[in-house]
Chain A
């Protein structure tokens, strides 16, 4: 089932949560809505689910497989919704939680007890909690609860699975495990899914495509590779990982750095041609000037604990961060306090579509 959102706006009083947003999710795709809190991503998800109604506008539409569902209530849309704080029914066992969506069906469509039992057992197996059916939500860990919430949503065989920061309340290790598990699950059952997250790593790892949102609008839509390597705006490059911003220009395909510039968030999407954006791993450190345009810096801190060494450097204008491969660090034999020269292997300016 494909989802298409057309020209949706949503205001809460004077506050605009969504401003004329359009997007499309293809059949069987897993799309992540990524953005900081207040960017409108959760509101968009809740509007797709029918838990929230968009502002009145004749041009707006929410299409499931081309059929407008804007007037349907949440129960009619057959969406599986997974809440950040699980929203499990506290007074029901795990089994009854998962069976709920089947038990509340109108008499004619309600499966028999045996069918319900089979379906729930199958789902318990899917979420690897086969022996937990009799437990209550309060007896489960956070990760287990979220898996139960997912099984409960899947029990109604939803056309669309919507997940609102599903791993947001869990600790890092559990989150990583569940993330991988969710991706495998999606590859198995292929239900069209939309996942809301503020964790860029999560979005880039799990999703087929990422929708980056900021201040009630969509900044960029693309595959994880596209949004990471070809960010469409200052906001996207800044939100998807660390970035150094330099004053400078591009001359004959080469970045000419002429000093640091702090990221000015008030600029928003405005494109400054005299700003160069360089990710930490795209910077090179040299002991001596070698003809490549570079700026002078002093090593202030070296952190080699990780896949790459994180080096903090100070310049006369401010701090830079550089990620160096560990072998390169060894080769340079850097120490805190060393004077070095920093150049860019790659840089971006936000003249549209211009990357060297």
Chain B
């Protein structure tokens, strides 16, 4: 027996095992992920493109899309600012309560979204802590648009920060110190040195944050209270389905699914980009001169 054949046998599993393992993986992905996705699009288009477009043209559909865009449009920039601020603080300074802050940032990941919705009910609902005060000022939060936005901000809170903290810790702050020693102001240092270094990671976090903001169901469902004017796209899909309006439900669902696919493509591209950047920082140049 030759040496190469021996080493191949030593390091590789038998062919049948590989086929079985790969087969199982694909079968799972196929049944659980690809098939439903195909069903969404076929169901949406079953009654023809005309019906599909009509159901998207409903005022209620537009209302849901608009509210989803508003919620995402507010929560993504907010969490972007928060994420950059928090990860800057965590990566570049040492302070008391730092590990507590890191843990708290993860809280929305840890608790069920339904609970986050209920928290806002307890705070801002009619029977809630601030309910009386808000009613006196005639401010509606629960069962209104502000509630939907608040719940969305809460559940999407960790995405940007989680993405940036390890990246910024990895990079350290020598480049910032160099910039400061060269006379740059704090603001110039941020825009010219820090931001370019984290831009791909930041974009990645924003894309994930956006996907979650547009797709969130649980928390938003609690504070929206099943009213037409507080329906986001996911809530509207459920409402349509409960009314046995399957074609319209699938039409709306296809929009969300499409958004998911675009996010996935963008995410894959950015991952590839980030990896390249990471490799560049690690690999020293070919030759010393």
A residues adjacent to B (C-beta < 8 A): 49-51, 73-75, 78-81, 83, 85, 87-91, 100-101, 104-105, 138-145, 149, 152-153, 155-156, 170-171, 174
Q: A51-B177, A74-B180, A75-B185 are in contact. Are A90 and B280 (CB under 8 A)?
A: yes
Q: Are the C-beta atoms of B183 and A105 separated by less than 8 Å?
A: yes
B53 at the interface (CB under 8 A from A): no
Which residues of A are found within 8 Å of B35, using beta-carbon distances?
A: none
Q: How far is the CA of A105 from the CA of B185 in the complex (A)?
A: 9
Q: Are the C-beta atoms of A89 and B288 separated by less than 8 Å?
A: no
- Which of B17-25, B58-66, B191-199 faces chain A? B191-199
Which residues of B are found within 8 Å of A174, using beta-carbon distances?
A: 288-289
Q: How far is the CA of A85 from the CA of B197 in the complex (A)?
A: 17
A-B contacts, 14 of them at CB < 8 A, read A51-B177, A51-B180, A79-B181, A85-B174, A87-B177, A88-B175, A89-B179, A89-B193, A90-B281, A104-B182, A104-B188, A141-B286, A143-B289, A174-B288
Chain B interface, number of residues (Cβ within 8 angstroms): 25
Q: Are the C-beta atoms of A83 and B178 separated by less than 8 Å?
A: yes
The 8 A-B pairs at the shortest CB distance, nearest first, are namely A101-B182, A87-B174, A104-B184, A87-B178, A81-B181, A91-B196, A141-B288, A141-B289
Shortest Cβ distance from residue A147 to the other chain B in the assembled complex, whole angstroms: 9
When C-beta atoms are compared, the residue in chain A nearest to B181 turns out to be A81
Which residues of A are found within 8 Å of B281, using beta-carbon distances?
A: 90, 138
Q: Are the C-beta atoms of B183 and A75 separated by less than 8 Å?
A: yes
CB-contact partner of B280 in A87, A138, A142, A170, under 8 A? A138
Q: Mark B189-222, 1 if CB is under 8 A from A, else 0.
A: 0001100110000000000000000000000000
Which residues of A are found within 8 Å of B289, using beta-carbon distances?
A: 141, 143-144, 174
B287 at the interface (CB under 8 A from A): yes
Q: Are the C-beta atoms of B196 and A51 separated by less than 8 Å?
A: no
Which residues of B are found within 8 Å of A142, using beta-carbon distances?
A: 284-285, 288
Q: How far is the CA of A49 from the CA of B185 in the complex (A)?
A: 16
When C-beta atoms are compared, the residue in chain B nearest to A136 turns out to be B280
Q: Are the C-beta atoms of A83 and B280 separated by less than 8 Å?
A: no
Greatest chain A CB density within 10 A among B185, B283, B288 is at B288
Q: How far is the CA of A101 from the CA of B181 in the complex (A)?
A: 9
Shortest Cβ distance from residue B87 to the other chain A in the assembled complex, whole angstroms: 18
Q: A91-B197, A142-B284 are in contact. Are A51 and B182 (CB under 8 A)?
A: no
Q: How far is the CA of A19 from the CA of B192 in the complex (A)?
A: 37
Q: How far is the CA of A49 from the CA of B182 in the complex (A)?
A: 11
Q: Are the C-beta atoms of A101 and B197 separated by less than 8 Å?
A: no
Which residues of A are found within 8 Å of B280, using beta-carbon distances?
A: 90, 138
When C-beta atoms are compared, the residue in chain B nearest to A155 turns out to be B182
Q: Are the C-beta atoms of B182 and A100 separated by less than 8 Å?
A: yes
CB-contact partner of B182 in A90, A152, A171, under 8 A? A152
Shortest Cβ distance from residue A74 to the other chain B in the assembled complex, whole angstroms: 5
Q: How far is the CA of A87 from the CA of B283 in the complex (A)?
A: 15
In addition to A104-B179, A142-B284, A144-B285, 19 A-B residue pairs with Cβ atoms within 8 Å of each other are: A73-B180, A75-B180, A75-B181, A75-B185, A81-B178, A81-B181, A83-B178, A89-B179, A89-B196, A91-B196, A104-B185, A104-B188, A105-B183, A141-B288, A143-B289, A145-B285, A152-B178, A153-B181, A156-B183
CB-contact partner of A156 in B182, B193, B196, B284, under 8 A? B182
Which residues of A are found within 8 Å of B193, using beta-carbon distances?
A: 89
CB-contact partner of A75 in B175, B184, B196, under 8 A? B184
Q: How far is the CA of A145 from the CA of B284 in the complex (A)?
A: 10
Q: How far is the CA of A50 from the CA of B181 in the complex (A)?
A: 8
Which residues of B are found within 8 Å of A155, using beta-carbon distances?
A: 182
When C-beta atoms are compared, the residue in chain B nearest to A135 turns out to be B285
Shortest Cβ distance from residue B111 to the other chain A in the assembled complex, whole angstroms: 36
Q: How far is the CA of A81 from the CA of B175 in the complex (A)?
A: 11
Shortest Cβ distance from residue B239 to the other chain A in the assembled complex, whole angstroms: 48
Q: How far is the CA of A135 from the CA of B258 in the complex (A)?
A: 41
Q: How far is the CA of A342 from the CA of B182 in the complex (A)?
A: 57
Shortest Cβ distance from residue A124 to the other chain B in the assembled complex, whole angstroms: 15
Shortest Cβ distance from residue A161 to the other chain B in the assembled complex, whole angstroms: 11
Q: Are the C-beta atoms of A140 and B183 separated by less than 8 Å?
A: no
Greatest chain B CB density within 10 A among A79, A88, A138, A145 is at A138
Q: How far is the CA of A250 from the CA of B181 in the complex (A)?
A: 53
Q: How far is the CA of A90 from the CA of B198 in the complex (A)?
A: 11
Shortest Cβ distance from residue A187 to the other chain B in the assembled complex, whole angstroms: 23
